[in-house]
Structure 1
Amino acid sequence: MEKLLLSLVIISVFVATGEAQSKSFLINCGTNSSINVDGRRWVGDLVADNNLTVSSSGIAASTDSSIFGPLYKTARFFTDGLNYTFEGIQGNYFVRLHFCPFSFENYNVNESSFDVVANGLKLVTEFNVPGEISHKNLRLQSSGSNSSSFFLIKEYILPINMDVLVIEFFPKKGSLGFINAVEIVPVVNKLFTDPVSKVSGNGASLNLSGRGIETMYRLNVGGPEIKSREDLDLWRTWEVDSSYMITADAGLEIRNSSNITYASMNDSSVAPLLVYESARTMSNTEVLEKRFNMSWKFEVDPDFDYWIRLHFCEVVYGMANQRIFRIYINNRTASNNFDVFVQAGGMNRAYHQDYIDVVSSKTKTLWIQLGPETAAGASGTDALLNGLEIFKLSRNANLAYIETYDSTGNSAGNSKTKILWVGIGAGGASVVILAVLISFIFCYCRGQRKKLTDTKSNNPSGWRPFFLHGSITNSTANAKGAAGSQNPYASMASTRVGKWFTLAEIRAATNNFDESLVIGVGGFGKVYKGAIEDGTPAAIKRANPQSEQGLTEFETEIEMLSKLRHRHLVSMIGFCDEQNEMILVYEYMANGTLRSHLFGSDLPPLTWKQRLVACIGAARGLHYLHTGAERGIIHRDVKTTNILLDENFVAKMSDFGLSKNGPALDHTHVSTAVKGSFGYLDPEYFRRQQLTEKSDVYSFGVVLFEVICARPVINPSLPKDEVNLAEWAMGWQRQRSLETIIDPHLKGNYSADSLKKFGEIAEKCLADEGKNRPTMGEVLWHLEYVLQLHQAWMCSNNGENSSSFSQALEGLEEGEAERKNVQARGILESDIISGSQ
């Protein structure tokens, strides 16, 4: 009630002052009668003395269908130009055009295409309402929302300086247009003030004077939809935000019914107080890495300027420096060290922040991301947002962008297309259509199942033939075909990726896939320890055909291993593709994963020397990946379980199922969906979805801290500030007190100088921005220096010199000699592979 009274007082003040902007126009098109909707009276466009002049063109249309609201039961159809002229209007106004397609006589709304111009400002061009509605519903459904609608409202904020507003409608030749309602509401107070600084604009700003504005998005973040009748000042609708979030679970919804007030009385019309009573904060902050963000993604029109307005209200903390975070817009930092309490001047104070961003002609998306300020010492480690608005600014008297959609709501490019609009019929007709659709899907699925069964009976393998990966040479294939062999999987056949095993050989090697021989399980299936041919031990990875994700990673691993050979990469011995099986055979790594020697098992702990040697070996493998091929290869899943140790504790990188080729020479990154292991993910990659070699460097930095602390990277059972290893260890490293949290097994058995240098390397790897991180080559050089420091310390203290360490060090020296030789001679990785066969 207090909010309602406040809004009424504000409205009455403007009425009392007699400002020109106090006049609203609510026009119900295509009728000579008036209706009341939500307490507002909408006057028919044919009613006399309604301060509106309508050109003679156009036909009044109506429908009796009960599925349409009272405002959308009438419309004005036109095949020639139509003008609406409003007299005695001046200032800044919201102009809302309401569209709701329905069938009328012989007019086909599916083929509607028209332009709209207001006082010389083009609002839309080649506009097709059914296509726009279909596309909006498709987008909402694809994001998990059940929302859909039969109507569309286009909202604009227009400066009117001529004491008159003329809205003109122009149908394309041979087409038609329609309009259901026109709503014109004065903008009370100064809703938009300029100049506003551009994102990353070094203080530059845009002059907004006289520019038209289109509302693209208006969201009540973390709360329910706010209906127009609940926003009494300006009658705006605020959508829910969940359908726009990349990961809805990344933001926790919170509510607060406290007595919220505006930070400034001038802000009383910026948003209703309902917006500030709900918010999103980072969810599960005890588990999530503090560098991860809440992310919203929006479709926008390219080559326009956009005004982004963020609404904030601190409803939890009652003092400053408790929640400090960063704001990113289109992957650029818009604000650092943002403290809502400080900006708003207290708790429960409604506040907004504006930004301007320029979207290029090659971009059709706009990202808004919020994440904690990791450098700040805030008690609260998450971010907060209450509301969000995105406005498009006109350029050269134009707000229009041509984008047409097909019948499913998908983009059909900029060319004019006919959009098939599923007619909105009576309830009975809808049921019939739905029944026919279900029957069709059922029959289609039965046919596809039968077809798949027939295919499998003719081709036992449920996988794609292995030769599709280009791994088998033509000579091998031709020789096999010429021989007319009845067994296409002859064990003597070989390819660049190794021996071609028969399934019988694999079964013999694994004792018919004995469960007692399982040494690992992943999304692809199981890994068995086996013995091939002369008893040589091998790791045999058997993929699960039912795992689609595993199949994709499996095929990626085949592609990568077919061109990778290095002492510090696990090599593939061969494969089997027979009887609906896809199996890879690797060299056996006797000492398992690096993690198993750090924690979680009864294995003896590694010495400081052995840990350094393992890190150097893994770094050598990664350095080869990044530099050995023309474009380099990014591993994308660097972690201690993917670093394996052989019988001499020589470390080798494994599991290339998520690996990606590096960027081309003229690119700085690879744009791809975020994949990897939680706790090791590069926050910059997570935030921007831009993968670089520095993403591997970040993950390797986490590995370094894991090696020295011997604990999981994420442990929810620990106190809040210790849950995340990277954050916890970085805090001690910045204090130069890393020895405080070192693995107790290492106490007294390491060189203080080597530990200090080791911590500095890890710290550099975990830099927030990739450009500030070292390359893997630089990391490798520093780790070798750490080993030298420790060896010098051992000599001075008569430390032991175990044979296993000597063998591992010999392996490192051989690998380094190979790397230097390749770099000096410029040998491609294909030359190394062919020479190693």
Structure 2
Amino acid sequence: METASAKSVFFVLLLSLLSLHVFSLSFSPIDNYLIDCGSTVDATVDNRLFVSDSSCADSSYLLLASSSRSVQLSDRIYDSARFFDRPSRYVFKIRDQGTHMVRLHFHQFNSSKIDFDDAQFHVLVNNYVVLSNFSGGHQMSSPVVKEYLIWVDTEKLVLTFFPTKKSKFAFVNAIEVISAPKDLILDTAQFVNGDKVENFDRLTKQALEVIHRVNVGGVKVTPFNDTVWRTWVPDDQFFRSIDVSRRVYFGGRIKYQDGGASREVGPDNVYGTARVIASANASIPNVNMTWDFPVIDGYKYLIRLHFCDIASISLGLLYFNVYVNENLAYKDLDLSFVTGYALASPFYADFVVDGDHSGVLSVSVGPSNKSIEYAIDGILNGVEIMKMNKSMGILDGELCEGVILKSWPRTNISLWFAFLAAVCVLLSLSVFVTRKKRNEGKNSVAWSKLPMDVSEVNSSHGNQQMSGKL
């Protein structure tokens, strides 16, 4: 049974106001690169300034003021793209070694000069193959954001674009490289293998691709309302137990605790909504809530489940089981106990599973033997599913870094253009972006900007043009 739509809207607005209240506590990353690729001007999106990758050619420093906050969303970063007709790379200086969030934005737009069906390319982040034979064809009717969590223990992060062949090209609209909060990915999860559950260690050293990030029972959460600028989608398309559950909304304060889930792990907007199973009488329902997520066979997956008891009227009343791929992953979960006996206090659990031939990964919660009559018998607030790299550093396709490198002659690879930037946060209000000046003339650059109006590209730029396309 669903609550009234008016009530839903009220709580959504309330959660939005709460997110504005906690803005002053937002995470401030040490490495924070936001690049508007191919544009000649900077763009502000969700109160973040994306810096043009060509506007600083004559200046070593750019001062970015970020003291004001806009409530309007913008897609200006998709008004332009930079494309590459040979292997090309961005190089980012890393000051905070550890896990980094890397987001790549792609969107084709109408052009009488460029055929995006000719886009086909690989993308490497350091030694990891994150995209293989990726295409910007007609299937991209709306922007696509690819998000990765990459462990970086060197002084630079290198992002490389490889066209699959000389007749193809690569492109990108915007890039984010951000040092992640230290508590975002912990080193140990629980590996669920049939009826066995055991530790899975060295998780932080894995490369991860975010496949699904879902706000259970709630509405879409945009980067503006997330302290690390994530997008959470509603769970409706994945949920298959509508008749046995109801949505709940919480208008109070989420009680984040030291050592527990932080706002960077999950925002108020996610922990403030949920789906629940509840006993309406002395009979405990013998049903589970289940979500099905499409995945690709041949990979391991990290499943992060978010819980917050915003539905119980008292402590010690909520017990339930958690299942992954129909295997028992957590028996008799007692949210009161794991949160130090506090209601509305968030908790998350990490599980690792193998993707199977079904192409579906299922998550279920339901009553346990300890469930109590006339109480809540199961709850879930959010789900994140991340693909883990295979051997040889592969996150997509079957080609490893070595095979991709051999696909282009070394003479072409030596012409890569290195985009080197450094970002420093001053008093949380100003950002200085330091960029290395080009050592070569513009005619040696192996990339090109692609504005919405392709006629704006100056044909005298030599190698900046893509032969046969303009």
TM-score norm. by structure 2 comes to: 0.71
Match 2:214 to one of 209, 215, 219: 219
C-alpha distance in structure 1 between counterparts of 2:104 and 2:176, whole Å: 6
Q: Is the 8 A contact 2:37 2:172 kept in 1?
A: yes
**1:373 maps to 2:380:** no
Corresponding residue number in structure 2 for 1:72: 78
Higher relative contact order (CA 8 A, sep 6+): 2
Give the 3 Å change call, closer, same or farther, for CA 325–51 of structure 1 in structure 2. Answer: farther
Corresponding residue number in structure 1 for 2:468: none
Match 2:179 to one of 179, 186, 211: 186
Q: Is the 8 A contact 1:285 1:382 kept in 2?
A: no
Give the 3 Å change call, closer, same or farther, for CA 5–336 of structure 1 in structure 2. Answer: same
**1:298 maps to 2:306:** no
Higher strand share: 2
Give the 3 Å change call, closer, same or farther, for CA 333–170 of structure 1 in structure 2. Answer: same
Superimposed CA distance per residue, residues 16-75 of structure 1 (whole angstroms, 9 cap, x where no aligned partner): xxxxx51201100112221212221111111226889xxxxxxxxxxxxxxx92110000
Partner SS, residue 243 of structure 1 = coil
What are the equivalent positions in structure 2 for 1:169-248 lying under 5 Å apart?
A: 169-173=161-165, 174-199=167-192, 200-231=195-226, 233-248=227-242
Q: CA RMSD in A?
A: 2.7
Aligned-partner residue type, residue 191 of structure 2:
K
Partner SS, residue 332 of structure 2 = strand
Q: Is the 8 A contact 2:332 2:369 kept in 1?
A: no
The size of the alignment, in residue pairs, is: 364
Q: Is the 8 A contact 2:19 2:225 kept in 1?
A: no
Corresponding residue number in structure 1 for 2:435: none
Give the 3 Å change call, closer, same or farther, for CA 285–113 of structure 1 in structure 2. Answer: farther
Match 1:319 to one of 314, 331, 339: 314
**1:356 maps to 2:362:** no
Corresponding residue number in structure 1 for 2:54: 46
Corresponding residue number in structure 2 for 1:81: 87
What displacement does 1:342 show?
2.2
Gapped runs of 5+ residues in structure 2? Answer: 1-16, 62-73, 399-451, 453-470
Give the 3 Å change call, closer, same or farther, for CA 226–288 of structure 1 in structure 2. Answer: farther
Superimposed CA distance per residue, residues 388-418 of structure 1 (whole angstroms, 9 cap, x where no aligned partner): 1111111224343349xxxxxxxxxxxxxxx
Superimposed CA distance per residue, residues 461-496 of structure 1 (whole angstroms, 9 cap, x where no aligned partner): xxxxxxxxxxxxxxxxxxxxxxxxxxxxxxxxxxxx
Match 1:339 to one of 310, 334, 337: 334
Q: Is the 8 A contact 2:191 2:351 kept in 1?
A: yes
Corresponding residue number in structure 2 for 1:157: 149
What are the equivalent positions in structure 2 for 1:449-468 lying under 5 Å apart?
A: none
Q: Is the 8 A contact 2:284 2:372 kept in 1?
A: no
Corresponding residue number in structure 2 for 1:675: none
C-alpha distance in structure 1 between counterparts of 2:381 and 2:86, whole Å: 45
Give the 3 Å change call, closer, same or farther, for CA 375–161 of structure 1 in structure 2. Answer: closer
Give the 3 Å change call, closer, same or farther, for CA 284–105 of structure 1 in structure 2. Answer: farther
C-alpha distance in structure 2 between counterparts of 1:287 and 1:115, whole Å: 58
Corresponding residue number in structure 1 for 2:37: 29
Gapped runs of 5+ residues in structure 1? Answer: 15-20, 53-67, 134-148, 404-424, 426-837
Q: Is the 8 A contact 1:97 1:182 kept in 2?
A: yes
Give the 3 Å change call, closer, same or farther, for CA 340–114 of structure 1 in structure 2. Answer: same
Percentage of identical aligned residues: 27
Superimposed CA distance per residue, residues 153-205 of structure 1 (whole angstroms, 9 cap, x where no aligned partner): 00001111221111111111232221100012221232111221212434242
C-alpha distance in structure 1 between counterparts of 2:37 and 2:255, whole Å: 39
Give the 3 Å change call, closer, same or farther, for CA 118–241 of structure 1 in structure 2. Answer: same
Superimposed CA distance per residue, residues 115-159 of structure 1 (whole angstroms, 9 cap, x where no aligned partner): 1001011101011244664xxxxxxxxxxxxxxx61100000111
Superimposed CA distance per residue, residues 520-550 of structure 1 (whole angstroms, 9 cap, x where no aligned partner): xxxxxxxxxxxxxxxxxxxxxxxxxxxxxxx
Superimposed CA distance per residue, residues 759-816 of structure 1 (whole angstroms, 9 cap, x where no aligned partner): xxxxxxxxxxxxxxxxxxxxxxxxxxxxxxxxxxxxxxxxxxxxxxxxxxxxxxxxxx
Q: Which structure: larger Rg?
A: 1
Superimposed CA distance per residue, residues 397-444 of structure 1 (whole angstroms, 9 cap, x where no aligned partner): 4343349xxxxxxxxxxxxxxxxxxxxx9xxxxxxxxxxxxxxxxxxx
Aligned-partner residue type, residue 110 of structure 2:
S
What displacement does 1:288 show?
9.5
What displacement does 1:209 show?
4.0
Q: Is the 8 A contact 1:129 1:152 kept in 2?
A: no
Q: Is the 8 A contact 1:306 1:357 kept in 2?
A: yes
Corresponding residue number in structure 1 for 2:115: 108
Aligned-partner residue type, residue 361 of structure 2:
L
Aligned-partner residue type, residue 93 of structure 2:
E
C-alpha distance in structure 1 between counterparts of 2:40 and 2:186, whole Å: 40
Q: Is the 8 A contact 2:197 2:329 kept in 1?
A: no
Aligned-partner residue type, residue 299 of structure 2:
F
Partner SS, residue 162 of structure 1 = coil
Q: Is the 8 A contact 1:95 1:155 kept in 2?
A: yes
Partner SS, residue 274 of structure 2 = strand
Give the 3 Å change call, closer, same or farther, for CA 229–131 of structure 1 in structure 2. Answer: same
Give the 3 Å change call, closer, same or farther, for CA 374–267 of structure 1 in structure 2. Answer: closer
Q: Is the 8 A contact 2:299 2:387 kept in 1?
A: yes
C-alpha distance in structure 1 between counterparts of 2:386 and 2:280, whole Å: 32
Aligned-partner residue type, residue 133 of structure 2:
E
Give the 3 Å change call, closer, same or farther, for CA 289–106 of structure 1 in structure 2. Answer: farther
Q: Is the 8 A contact 1:94 1:158 kept in 2?
A: yes
What displacement does 1:106 show?
3.5
Between 107-116 and 363-372, the greater mean CA deviation after superposition:
107-116
Higher helix share: 1
What displacement does 1:349 show?
0.8
Give the 3 Å change call, closer, same or farther, for CA 80–341 of structure 1 in structure 2. Answer: same
C-alpha distance in structure 1 between counterparts of 2:373 and 2:135, whole Å: 50
Partner SS, residue 203 of structure 1 = strand
Q: Is the 8 A contact 2:323 2:329 kept in 1?
A: yes
Superimposed CA distance per residue, residues 492-515 of structure 1 (whole angstroms, 9 cap, x where no aligned partner): xxxxxxxxxxxxxxxxxxxxxxxx
C-alpha distance in structure 1 between counterparts of 2:280 and 2:134, whole Å: 45
Aligned-partner residue type, residue 79 of structure 1:
D
C-alpha distance in structure 1 between counterparts of 2:280 and 2:182, whole Å: 39
